[in-house]
Structure formats: C-alpha cells, structure tokens
Amino acid sequence: MQKYFLSLLLVTGLVAAGEAGPARQGLEQFTQELKGLHARFSQVVVNADGGIESEGRGEVWMSSPDRFRWTYTGEFPELIVADGKNVWLYDESLEQVTVKPQSDEAGDSPLLLLTDLEALDEKFTITEIGDYQGADMMALESRSAESEFERVLLGFESGQLVLMGLEDAFGMRTELRFEAIERNPGLDPGLFLFVPPEGADVVGEAELASSP
C-alpha cells in the first residue's frame, strides 16, 4: 500500500515546538500579499483504520476573507461553496444540497486563514515537523474545541504550498496535493454564488445571500 504523508499526523504530538524554521519561512513567503488563489489538487481520504475511503481530483478557488469554492470529481462528485453568509454542499450523486450558516468555525478554514497570518497564529498552535519528500512540513492544532479539524498539516516547497492534511475528531484523514497554483488570479464573483439545481432536495436553511 502506498505510504501517505497523513501518517505524519500520528506523530506530530511527539515533536517539540521550536523556533521558526523552513516551514514557517515557506508559509510566510507563500502568504505574502495573498488575497486569493486557484489550484488543482488530488485527494485521498483515509479512515481511522488506515483504509482508503475515496480518491479523487478537483479544483479550488479562494478569495479573502471568507469565500471559497471546492469541486471534487471521482466516484462521489461534490461541490462546496462558501459565499460569505452560507456554506453550500451539493452531492451530485444524491441530488441533495446541504446548507448551513457560515459560522466563525467555518471561517477557521486553514486555507482561508493563509491570507491572515495573525489570525492563523491566534487560532492554531503551530509546530515544525521537518522534511517530507522535499516539502517543509508544519502541524497546526486548533485552539478551539469547536473546530471541524483536530489537526492540519501544511507542506511548503520553494515557497509554494504543495501538501495539506486534515484530521477530524473521528480519525478520518484527508490528504490534498496541490498543483498549478495561481496566486491572486482575477476571479469571477459568480464562482462564489450557488443556486440549488432544480429538483434537488435542500437540507437546512440559508441566511440571506450576500452580494458578491
């Protein structure tokens, strides 16, 4: 079985925090004047027993301070859109839309927080964990008991974000490998708007939509 960098999540608690190292330097270089991005990625989801739940690919668009769009392809296609007021999740195979208010916790997305290092330091304890296949890795542990993720890994190579790992409270781990990242591209505001497809079931209630 292929070895994934998610295994590093199991040992981050054994590494003592130290002074800012190469991962922090990569983080600071990557986030300098970052207001938005577009990237492609591959994704692997691993369960608590180490078995692969799903694999897929997708694209992400992000605009500071609170808007993003994730598209996932593969066996279970999904679309996730945060419009500044609500987070919309569309499960294409189930023809179902789930919507919930974009709470402060949803705003704690590590990807969004990369546009605000001060907020990142405030919301996460950050630890350098060394090199993995050429990427300088760091672990982020949320300071909030309400956070969606227990721990996050970020990997930087030559000042570019290349890896992200996420672990939730149930031991599910998600690995993202980024490629073709565009910094501060011109993004159509319509990317961050969502209208449920006709005939789809809608679960939850949306707040009034924000203007782009």
Express each pLDDT in 25-62 by its tens digit.
999 999 888 899 999 999 998 888 888 888 899 999 99
Count the neighbouring beta carbons within 10 Å of the beta carbon of residue 45: 17
More confident: 149 or 194:
194
Alpha-carbon span 170 to 101, nearest angstrom: 23
Q: Is 178 in contact with 29 (CB distance < 8 Å)?
A: no
For residue 110, the SS3 value is helix
Q: Check whether 196 has a pLDDT greater than 50.
A: yes
Q: How much is the pLDDT for 105? A: 52
Confidence of residue 211 (pLDDT cuts 50, 70, 90): very low
Q: What average pLDDT does the segment 186-209 reach?
A: 88
Q: Which residues lie across from 176 on neighbouring strands? A: 43, 164
pLDDT, position 49 = 85
Whether pLDDT at 2 is above 60: no
Whether domain 22-203 has CATH 2.50.20.10: the reply is: yes
Please say whether the beta carbons of 126 and 132 come within 8 A: no
Q: What is the pLDDT of residue 17?
A: 46
**Cα dihedral: 176, 171, 146, 22 (round 10):** -50
Structural domain boundaries in the chain: 22-203
Contact 40, 59 (CB under 8 A): yes
